[in-house]
Amino acid sequence: MRLGTVEFRGRARAALAEGDEAVRLLPEEAGDVVGLISQGRAAIQTAAQQGQSVPLGEVRMMAPIQRFSRDVLCTGWNYWDHFEESRGKREGQDVDRPRAPTFFTKSPHAVIGPYDDVAHDPHISAKWDYEAEVGLVIGRKCRNLTKSNAHQAIFGYFLANDTSQRDLQRRHGGQWLKGKSIDGTTPIGPWITTPHEVEIEDVQLELELNGSVMQSASLRQMAFPIEELLAELSFGMTLMPGDIVITGTPAGIGNAREPQIFLKPGDEMVVRATGLGELRNRVVAADLHEGTDVQNMSEPS
């Protein structure tokens, strides 16, 4: 099952993929993707029986999750090669290798669709970077999961590009919320693919920038596997259906390269992974600072 959200005739609709050329629109009365996930897969299959098949070209793919009950839950430093490539390049904010997963959150307003343009404003940041990631959607209310049962809480997987503003990460004491939360900068999707359709440990994740492969890694290279991430994240903390968790990026980020590579208007990023499809996004100039009196980040302080 591949579940997502599409725009059809000006309205957002929950939909299932039908091969690669069509989608099945679910009845509007069935609710949105978060509501359907809460009801379970059987309810989704029942709704699909009353659905309408339309060609993929007649819809616009949107971010599969449109209704958030909390911030996007994120994982940092979850590939050791990525942790090590940035050693000495964190502008005085280096830390020892973590012994447990590192978590942070980002604003839902950063989330955009799988083929939408990524906003870029040099006043906001002079160091825009890319991060290919695999994300997951929680399928049931849960707390204190174990590594052995955490898989039961996963509804499905999707792709994400955790586009980041490195100077904002450094500016605010080394915490990552601000440097990960700029509006309109985080593509996710294209579909939420249920676990029986993908062998997640065998997934190969990669990112291309203007046709050149910048990141490529197997999910087996994760420092903390997905089951361990969920056990740690749910430790004393309730997770709800529709919550999304992105699981970290591998080595190859622009900030760690020599010379450094940062995103600019006109760039095209493609994130793909085995069995999960691809994100394809252009970087476009945008005015995100409007009338602010906060310092222009592209100019020296």
Please write the tens of the pLDDT for every residue from 229-287: 999 999 999 999 999 999 999 999 999 999 999 999 999 999 999 999 999 999 999 99
Question: Which among 179, 163, 162, 160 has a CA at the least distance from the CA of 90?
Answer: 179
Strands 2-8, 164-165: pairing kind? unpaired
Write out pLDDT tens, residues 40-91: 999 999 999 999 999 999 999 999 999 999 999 999 999 999 988 977 666 6
The alpha carbon dihedral of 94, 184, 187, 224 has a sign of positive
Q: What percent of the chain has pLDDT over 90?
A: 90
pLDDT band for position 197 (cuts 50, 70, 90): very high
* CA distance readout (Å), 233 to 110, 161, 163, 225, 291: 22, 21, 22, 12, 38
H-helix segments, the chain: 33-39, 41-49, 80-85, 166-171, 226-233
pLDDT band for position 93 (cuts 50, 70, 90): low
Return the CA Rg of the chain.
Answer: 19
pLDDT for position 45: 96
* CA distance readout (Å), 264 to 17, 51, 209, 279, 286: 33, 41, 11, 18, 11
Q: Which residues pair with 75 in a beta bridge?
A: 103
Q: Across residues 158-174, what is the average pLDDT?
A: 91
Locate 76 and state its tokens: 């940092």
Please report the DSSP string for 109-152 in residue order.
Answer: GGEE-TTSPEEE-TTT-S-EE--EEEEEEE-S-BSS--TTTGGG
Locate 122 and state its tokens: 């040099």
SS3 state of residue 206: strand
Can you tell me the distance from the alpha carbon of 226 to that of 250, in angstroms, rounded to the nearest whole number?
A: 14
CATH topology of domain 72-285: Fumarylacetoacetate hydrolase; domain 2 (3.90.850)
Which segments of the chain belong to CATH 3.90.850.10?
72-285
Cis peptide before 250 (omega within 30 of 0): no
Q: What percent of the chain has pLDDT over 70?
A: 98
Q: Residue 187: what are its φ and ψ, rounded to 5°?
A: -70, 140
Q: Count of CB atoms within 10 A of residue 102's CB?
A: 17
Using the predicted structure, report yes or no on whether residue 301 has a pLDDT greater than 60: no
Can you tell me the distance from the alpha carbon of 119 to that of 129, in angstroms, rounded to the nearest whole number?
A: 12
Q: Give the chain's mean pLDDT.
A: 95
Q: Count of CB atoms within 10 A of residue 175's CB?
A: 11
